[in-house]
Amino acid sequence: MVTPDWIAVDWGTTRLRVWAMAGADVLDSRSSDKGMGALGPDQFEPALLDLIGDWIAGRPPVIACGMVGARGGWAEAEYRATPCAALDPARAIRPKAADPRLDVHILPGLSQLDPPDVMRGEETQIAGFLAGQPDFDGTLCLPGTHCKWVRISGGMVEGFHTFMTGEIYALLTRHSVLRLTVGDARPDAAAFLKAAAQALANPDLSPAGMFPLRAGALLAGLPAQDAAGRLSGLLVGAELAAARPLWLDRRTIIIGAPDLAAFYHQALTQAGADAHVMDGAALVLSGLTAARAAIA
């Protein structure tokens, strides 16, 4: 029987992950596909109880981050305006729960007014990173469905910029005419790097280069992995061109799934950036642990 003194929750759009914690130690962990995107207003409490119902006899605090706090989530947590610290657990929102054993705290997200931008969940990863490297000065790049580029200075989040590159790649390869050419092929690394360099040097190339992938397959048998690599390179290269002020002459740490992080790393290194990869798997938990220390 697990009796945690608190529970960590990472509740994104597609996944719900929970950890039974004793201080900074993990006693147990579970996950389900009951992400925020799949749930109606009354389904959050049952989805959480499904995973943690046998951990909460002692009413331990439950610290949650991510889209669970979005409009349309369980309860809307605020956005804190940058520049600011990555976390302010005192401004967590406490959703009403029918089960009296539930003591849930949802952490706020971050916002930026100009250009307008928002994040929910990544701020907790950033806090986890800063817990380990409090003096870091530079840029964090968090690739994924939406890639976040985050300027860090003096222990604060100065500002950030979101790119939809991952979502656009997925839409193009699953739903556009390019699905017939690329599908779910694994992107070829050499094709990726070449296209990324071209698009970084000439961002015009990105929109112009997409349909030729389909035509190249029809006319010259362009292999799916080459087309996948080239499409990814065109999109990531255009993102790197737009994000250039964020990585040029600034130490840049890429935090994300290993395969994707490696692609960003290679493209940035090829462009002369001072870029490094860090495994991000543990950072959400570090950030939630930092938040818990401040709350309870």
Other CB atoms within a 10 A radius of the CB of residue 294 amount to: 12
Q: How far is the CB of 253 from its own copies (least distance, A)?
A: 21
Q: Which residues pair with 150 in a beta bridge?
A: 140, 160
Other CB atoms within a 10 A radius of the CB of residue 209 amount to: 20
Residue type, 12: G
CA gap 132, 255 in Å, rounded: 14
SS3 214: helix
Q: How many CA atoms lie within 13 A of 236 on its CB side?
A: 33
Of positions 121, 209, 229, 233, contacts its own copies by CB under 8 A: 209
Q: How far is the CB of 59 from its own copies (least distance, A)?
A: 33
Between CA 137 and CA 143, with CA 138 as vertex, the angle to 5 degrees is 135
> Residue 17 or 148: which CB sits closer to its own copies?
148
Q: How far is the CB of 131 from its own copies (least distance, A)?
A: 27
Q: How far is the CB of 13 from its own copies (least distance, A)?
A: 9
Residue type, 37: G
Q: Write each residue from 44 to 73 as x if it is in contact with its own copies (CB under 8 A), else as -, in one continuous string.
A: ---------------------------x--
Q: How far is the CB of 84 from its own copies (least distance, A)?
A: 15
- Cβ-contact 155, 134 below 8 angstroms: yes
Of positions 218, 257, 294, 296, contacts its own copies by CB under 8 A: 218
Q: Beta strand pairing status for 61-65 and 79-81?
A: unpaired
By CB under 8 A, residue 171 contacts its own copies:
yes
Of residues 102-121, those binding its own copies (CB under 8 A)? 111-113, 115-118
By CB under 8 A, residue 252 contacts its own copies:
no
By CB under 8 A, residue 208 contacts its own copies:
yes
SS3 75: coil
Of positions 53, 154, 207, 272, contacts its own copies by CB under 8 A: 207
Of positions 139, 206, 232, 289, contacts its own copies by CB under 8 A: 206
Between CA 138 and CA 142, with CA 141 as vertex, the angle to 5 degrees is 140
> Residue 100 or 115: which CB sits closer to its own copies?
115
Of positions 30, 83, 211, 258, contacts its own copies by CB under 8 A: 211
Stretch that binds its own copies, among 1-9, 41-49, 235-243, 277-285 (CB under 8 A): 235-243
Q: How far is the CB of 280 from its own copies (least distance, A)?
A: 20
Helices (H) and strands (E) in the chain, counts: 10, 13
**8-state DSSP, 180:** G
Between CA 42 and CA 49, with CA 43 as vertex, the angle to 5 degrees is 120
Write out the residues near its own copies by the rule CB under 8 A: 71, 79, 111-113, 115-118, 146, 161-165, 167-168, 171-172, 175-178, 203-212, 214-216, 218-220, 222, 235, 238-239, 241-244
